Structure 1
Amino acid sequence: MFQVIERYIAREVLQAMLGVLIVLLLIFVSNRLVRYLADVASGDLPAEILFTLLSLQAIKFFIWLLPPSMYFAVLLVLGRLYRDSEMSAMNACGIGPGKIYRGLLLVAVPVTFLAAWVSFIIVPKIAQVEYKITDNAKQAIEITGVTPGVFKRSGSGEKIFYVERMTADKQLSKNVFIYAKVKRRSVVFSAKRARVTIDKYGDRFLVLEDGYRYDGQPGQADYRMTQFENHALKLESKLRTDKNKRRDWVPIGELWKSQDVRDRAELQWRIAIPLSGFLLVLLAVPIGKVTPRQGQYGKLGVAIPLYIIYFLLLTSTRAKIAKGDFSPEIGLWWIHGLVLLLTIGLLIKQSGFTWIKKRFLGTK
């Protein structure tokens, strides 16, 4: 059974972790909200999907921020215990690093399993939903996102739209002007009405009704003007096929079976998220040892750069694996190994090799 002191440490770490996580989430979500609002203001994103996308991003941020939140929570709690001499009292009662680790594992193990589940199962589904929502919205916004009375350039930059009026449901546009490049020729369309249709293959067309098409430059020999009742203009391509899908939404089972270096890089990255959180908790114990004079935040100046180096090594090595510039067999494991070796080295320096042998090797 876990003793009172171990449950006390676990409770303090859990409370601190939630506080750190909430602060970091607010920072990251606020930053993303500003970006989305800028996209809405520029007409690149419909306002009605803003909070849906923000909610999906918040879940992704949650899983990415769990490891650093747990790491800094342990450092803050240990710093307070050392500052208030509570750790000295515990040591006097025979409570060493082993008991501290037991208390921390009460939090670290469940959080690691939660992070693994979200990283392996939930995040890929969120990435797929997010991409489909964004892609469909960016396609639809070519016409439905046009503000009446304002010129709007398409996402590819090849078309310019102008709509005088729109119906309330935005399904029908009136008095439409379109400038486009067709086979390197300037083409201008004007129509009394326009509506968007989707064919059986998923391709989207803007159907112009009762209008004119002007090809070329006025005064040139090849200049033509054509009147039409209906004219279909193909809009930007439909949602990409599964062959071109992003790897962040590929199921974990497919990544595990794949020999593609990009898939293997993605697989190791998903494993790294929960694993890094667990290793950082182990590392935080020797790093978090401070004197009362150093204060609660005495080791943050060391802890923060270590975390940044760890994170940058993971991201840069992941990119090299995906490009085929680094062995996927070695992968990200060497970075985790360095963190583990650093932890063991610091524990030996602080508690002696005898304590390590007794606690982890079972020798006297």
Structure 2
Amino acid sequence: MIITRYFYREILNSIAALLLVLILIYLSHRFIMFLNEAGKGNLPVEYIAQLLALKVLWALILLIPLTTFLAVLLTLGRLYNDSEMAAMFACGVGIPWILRRVVVLALLLAIPVSAISLFVAPWSRQQEGHIRYEIRQLSDIAGLAAGRFQSFDDGRGVFYIESYNKQHQAMHNVFVSLDRGNKNILLTSEKAYPLLEEESQAHYIVMFNGYRYDLLPGTAQARLTHFDQHAVLINPPPVEQNYDFRAAATHVLLSTDHPKAMAELQSRLSAPLTLLLLAILAVLMSHTAPRQGRYAKIFSAILIYFIYNNLQEVSRKWVEQETLPTWIGIWWVHAAMLLVISVLWLRHRKRIH
């Protein structure tokens, strides 16, 4: 049907244009944040592109429902403003016809949104965690610099490297001072290498062919020991962080009843439902008088979207904190949106009759 093709073409063109603009805005914002990190030395520049790509994959969960909502609203607003909608009504095309077409389109868009929400976004979050960990590893190695004293262990230790070959990670003429309270320990060696213990993630400097001096403060007593190999702990194992359920695979969330897992699972399942409800709402909000213009409802639409999205995020936090039962969870927000849609539909039916 010509009207159907025309209708879908207009909405899809609007979705593509809006999505491109919002992605560019999001990328610009994130790029500035990453540049700020890079300027502070916390993020190597070569990782920025990878992190931006991963962030966009996660952001699509929010951007696709928003662009669909705005695209339907703008398209129908233009049709009303140009009196095309009046001509369609005269041909027997009414709001129920438009609703059916929009619901079909929303269901088709919900398929990629569901895939991104359930599988792609958690993967991207996991990959970002791996990259961040790799950056921390590199920063630890990069922190080893020759020709200056560097402290560790909250100032209780100091080491000095005369020369450091970063390519081979080989240190030469190394000096280490350790304050152990009841005694001071001095270590010297001709050669040393950094070592990362895989299991505990603790960082060491392993010294070879050197001497250890144990000094007792306030006395002339000292003990000299020659060693072939000696490991000095530079960075202790990282404190174990809370498990990141946002990076967990969906099947892992399904196999646990932890409140944070339930909140994350509901959030992922909410993405396609949000898209569908917003698309329906856009149809019912789109009616505009000729003098109002096609952009008359944009401010209200953006406000509704942010309220809807923020209520979902607040409900998610309540489920995580066990303030809200998991069976209520985020679903009450969608129920409230469905109630708003029902009221608008009844008003529309009343206006027709």
TM over 0.5: yes
Structure 2: gaps of 5 or more residues = none
- Pairwise mapping of residues 220-231 of structure 1 onto structure 2 (< 5 A)? 220=218, 230-231=229-230
How many residues get paired?
350
The answer on whether the counterparts of 1:13 and 1:107 sit within 8 Å (CA) in structure 2 is no
Letter in 1 for 2:132: T
- Pairwise mapping of residues 102-251 of structure 1 onto structure 2 (< 5 A)? 102-144=100-142, 166-167=164-165, 169=167, 171-173=169-171, 193-199=191-197, 201=199, 203-209=201-207, 220=218, 230-234=229-233, 235-237=235-237, 244-251=242-249
Letter in 2 for 1:277: L
- 1:186 Cα offset (Å): 8.9
The answer on whether the counterparts of 1:178 and 1:188 sit within 8 Å (CA) in structure 2 is yes
Deviation digits for residues 120-149 of structure 1, max 9, x if unmatched? 112222222221221232133112355667
Q: Secondary structure at the match of 2:232?
A: strand
What does residue 3 of structure 2 align with?
Answer: 5
What does residue 32 of structure 2 align with?
Answer: 34
The answer on whether the counterparts of 1:206 and 1:232 sit within 8 Å (CA) in structure 2 is yes
Q: 1:134 to 1:342 in 2, by over 3 A?
A: same
Tell me, yes or no, if structure 1 residue 268 matches structure 2 residue 266: yes
The answer on whether the counterparts of 1:43 and 1:145 sit within 8 Å (CA) in structure 2 is no
Q: Secondary structure at the match of 2:140?
A: coil
Q: Secondary structure at the match of 1:143?
A: helix
Distance 1:352 1:240 in 2: 60
Percent identity reads 31
Deviation digits for residues 90-140 of structure 1, max 9, x if unmatched? 112111112212332343111111111111112222222221221232133
Q: Secondary structure at the match of 1:197?
A: strand
Q: Secondary structure at the match of 1:232?
A: strand
- Pairwise mapping of residues 281-320 of structure 1 onto structure 2 (< 5 A)? 281-320=279-318
- 1:233 Cα offset (Å): 3.0
- 1:72 Cα offset (Å): 0.9
Q: 1:219 to 1:287 in 2, by over 3 A?
A: same
Q: Once structures 1 and 2 are overlaid, which stretch shifts more, 297-306 or 99-108? A: 99-108
Q: Once structures 1 and 2 are overlaid, which stretch shifts more, 88-97 or 227-236? A: 227-236
The answer on whether the counterparts of 1:6 and 1:102 sit within 8 Å (CA) in structure 2 is no
What does residue 69 of structure 2 align with?
Answer: 71
The answer on whether the counterparts of 1:318 and 1:331 sit within 8 Å (CA) in structure 2 is yes
- Pairwise mapping of residues 16-55 of structure 1 onto structure 2 (< 5 A)? 16-55=14-53
Q: 1:137 to 1:159 in 2, by over 3 A?
A: farther
Distance 2:155 2:272 in 1: 42
Which of 1 and 2 has greater Rg?
2
- Candidates 325, 329, 350, aligned match of 1:331: 329
Distance 2:106 2:292 in 1: 26
Q: Secondary structure at the match of 2:194?
A: strand
- 1:317 Cα offset (Å): 0.7
- 1:199 Cα offset (Å): 3.9
The answer on whether the counterparts of 2:183 and 2:217 sit within 8 Å (CA) in structure 1 is no
TM-score by length of 1: 0.81
Letter in 2 for 1:87: M
Deviation digits for residues 179-224 of structure 1, max 9, x if unmatched? 88868999887766543223463534332436677889x9755997
The answer on whether the counterparts of 2:34 and 2:48 sit within 8 Å (CA) in structure 1 is yes
Letter in 1 for 2:271: I
Letter in 1 for 2:295: Y
Deviation digits for residues 201-260 of structure 1, max 9, x if unmatched? 3534332436677889x975599797866432333436969xx53101222223223222
The answer on whether the counterparts of 2:57 and 2:116 sit within 8 Å (CA) in structure 1 is no
- 1:352 Cα offset (Å): 2.8
TM-score by length of 2: 0.84
Distance 2:177 2:75 in 1: 63
Distance 2:198 2:24 in 1: 43
Distance 1:46 1:6 in 2: 50
Q: 1:223 to 1:312 in 2, by over 3 A?
A: farther
Tell me, yes or no, if structure 1 residue 98 matches structure 2 residue 90: no
Letter in 2 for 1:291: A
What does residue 361 of structure 1 align with?
Answer: none
